[in-house]
Amino acid sequence: MKPVRALAGGGPASQPLYKEVKGRITRSLIAGEWKPGAAIPSESRLAAQFQVSVGTIRKAIDELVAEKIVIRQQGRGTFVTIHTEDRQFYYFFHIVSKDGGKEPPAHELLSLKTTKADTETAARLGLKPGERVHCVHNVLKLARRPVIFDELRIAAARFPDLNAASFGAREGTIYGLYQARYGINVVRISERLSAALPPARVSRVLGVSATSPVLMIKRVAYTYHDEPVELRTSWVNTQSHEYLSDIWKNEPR
Amino acid sequence: MKPVRALAGGGPASQPLYKEVKGRITRSLIAGEWKPGAAIPSESRLAAQFQVSVGTIRKAIDELVAEKIVIRQQGRGTFVTIHTEDRQFYYFFHIVSKDGGKEPPAHELLSLKTTKADTETAARLGLKPGERVHCVHNVLKLARRPVIFDELRIAAARFPDLNAASFGAREGTIYGLYQARYGINVVRISERLSAALPPARVSRVLGVSATSPVLMIKRVAYTYHDEPVELRTSWVNTQSHEYLSDIWKNEPR
DNA sequence: TTCGATTTGTTCGTATGTATT
DNA sequence: TAATACATACGAACAAATCGA
């Protein structure tokens, strides 16, 4: 069988065909061609469209599935992942009760301000110094008690007309809001944890003394192509909750 | 083409053929048929042995690769992962310097005692109550300063004749020792993190005051089939180091 | 309820490319 | 250089799940 290489354009095949296909699909995702929750074209249709075999399409989608960018369902199709789904939510949410109880989380918006980015924020978010960012303070309650204090920063340019009303009235998660309202899909996060004493405000909001240790988490959230989207610092009262890191139960497929 | 199903024995084919193959390979690994670092038979050889197609073998090995149980190298073969390798080491080691510097870690054994398992240890390690366990205290130094205090418990039955000499004189990592000396391969860990004040001894060894927060990590290490092997509590001085959790940079394949 | 169309999942087989020894 | 081993790509057939007529 002679290779077709309709995509590589007869080039030196610098990268495998399925990687090329994966990149094309990802670019369509970025362009918003297929909305979160919607089905992407079937494997046979994509194969016809790209002039490659179904196996090659499958291998490209295999990787997108492994990266949790799409989800496959036998008999139904392949869908762009949604962050409002419980499974996706808990994928990025690692705080669990020490006694194993599962409580529905409730959130409360404390403040939303727009300011100029400081140098560290600008560097980490890939912004020009002085560019405007939204700064949000948020509390998360588990079993009716405040457990997590979040301070997050996002580029104002990416999230126009974000305001306290739309933020506080959201259904589901913050990343669900990014996705539904701004078409921004968080696909990966990186977190750095340390133990610290809570700043005064955190201590007040979480109801812990200023001398009792809390868990501090600095997170960067990324969208496609490792583009940083959000910077977040969380303080967690680990009196009755803890951070769970499973490395891992990555049951393939 | 008619399916062969030489393995399922004409049974109900309750699970896919490649899962069956994966299970067989895993069982051979457990039996120590192929030692860590050694190559397992080539894909074509395995295909002939199991009477299935190469594609089915590949799919089985794909999952073992994703679970970091084996490593593939084009042109060379497929190898059982070793924990003495740097890459594997850093896979389970998440403490990094805040300033990004990479320092070679040094360890120092503080004590090794053999006692009866308390109820929690017995439960988590799947032992009968009162069974004997080794309890090891260990310090890890980074850039010549003590940063991590480890207390770990392992079943004495699984690790016979473990003593301070062999433990302290090990080359490489603790899991490397388990693997080289006892044929026990840690393939997954689960960690639960919280902020705490250091116990007196930890405070002394790490050189931090009793009132300054440290990161406490409770880890369970598992071998094949999710069998627990080691229970470990670590206290980390996060003054100049932090815990890195990358969810994820899981570049498939 | 049954049936058929559609879609992903599994399995086979073959050919060729690329890296290692 | 030749042999070996994994990597990529193709195509075909059937199984299993889903959904609507």
Instruction: Give pLDDT tens digits for A46-70.
Output: 999 999 999 999 999 999 999 999 9
Cβ–Cβ pairs < 8 A, chains A and B: 109
Around Cβ B167, how many Cβ atoms within 10 Å?
18
- DSSP symbols for B43-80: HHHHHHHHTS-HHHHHHHHHHHHHTTSEEEETTTEEEE
Is the CB of B73 within 7 Å of strand C? yes
Tell me how close the Cα of A165 comes to any Cα of chain B, in angstroms.
30
In chain B, which residues touch A (CB < 8 A)? 62-63, 66-67, 91-92, 94, 96, 188-197, 211, 213-216, 236, 238, 241-250, 252-253
Nearest by CB to A193, which of B62, B188, B215? B215
Tell me what pLDDT residue B249 has. 52
Tell me what pLDDT residue A12 has. 40
Tell me what pLDDT residue B247 has. 64
Q: What is the Cα–Cα distance from B121 to B116, expressed in whole angstroms?
A: 10
Listed range (A51-65, A74-88, B133-147, B237-251) with the worst mean pLDDT:
B237-251
B169-227, pLDDT tens digit by residue? 888 889 989 988 998 999 889 999 999 999 999 999 999 999 999 999 999 999 988 89
Around Cβ A193, how many Cβ atoms within 10 Å?
27
Q: Is this structure's pTM higher than 0.75?
A: yes
CB-side neighbour CA atoms (13 Å) of A4 = 11
- Tokens at A33, concatenated: 């061609």
Tell me how close the Cα of B134 comes to any Cα of chain A, in angstroms.
24
Tell me what pLDDT residue A180 has. 87
Percent over 90 (pLDDT), chain A: 74
Q: Check pLDDT > 80 for residue A124.
A: yes
> Helix, strand, coil % (nearest 5) of chain B?
30, 30, 40
B48-91, pLDDT tens digit by residue? 999 999 999 999 999 999 999 999 999 999 999 988 777 777 78
Nearest by CB to A245, which of B191, B214, B252? B191
> Measured over all CA atoms, what is the biggest interatomic distance in chain A, rounded to whole angstroms?
71
Contact at 8 Å (CB) between B196 and B217? no
Tell me what pLDDT residue B75 has. 96
Tell me what pLDDT residue B248 has. 62
Kindly indicate the confidence band of residue A239, based on its pLDDT and cuts at 50, 70 and 90.
very high
Domains of chain A and CATH, by start: 17-80 (1.10.10.10), 85-250 (3.40.1410.10)
Q: Do A238 and B191 touch (CB under 8 A)?
A: no
Is the CB of B50 within 7 Å of strand C? no
